[in-house]
Amino acid sequence: MTKESGTWLRRFHPGPAGGTRLICFPHAGGSAPYFHHVSRELSPVLDVQAVQYPGRQERRHEPRITDIAGLADGVMAEILPLADRPLAFFGHSMGAVVAFEVALRLREQGVAPLALFASGRRAPSCVREETLHKESDQALVAEVKSLGGTDPRMLDDPELLAMVLPAMRADYTAVMTYRCRPDAVVDSPVHVLVGDDDPQVSQDEALRWKEHTGGAFEMKVFGGGHFYLNDHAPAVLRYIAETLSVR
Backbone angles phi, psi at 79, to 5 degrees: -80, -35
Beta bridge partners of 195: 222
- DSSP strand pairing (9-11 vs 47-51): antiparallel
User: Is 228 in contact with 203 (CB distance < 8 Å)?
Assistant: no
93 is catalytic: yes
Amino acid, res. 154: M
Rounded to an integer, what distance in angstroms lies between the CA atom of residue 183 and that of residue 211? Answer: 8
Rounded Cα distance, 80 and 76, in Å: 6
Instruction: Identify whether the C-beta of residue 11 lies closer than 8 Å to the C-beta of residue 3.
Output: yes
Q: What is the CA radius of gyration of the chain?
A: 17
Catalytic one among 31, 39, 43, 93? 93
Closest CA to 208 of 199, 217, 200: 217
Question: What are the residues whose beta carbons fall under 8 Å from the beta carbon of 228, sequence distance 6 or more?
Answer: 120, 193, 194, 195, 196, 198, 222
What positions carry a catalytic annotation?
A: 93
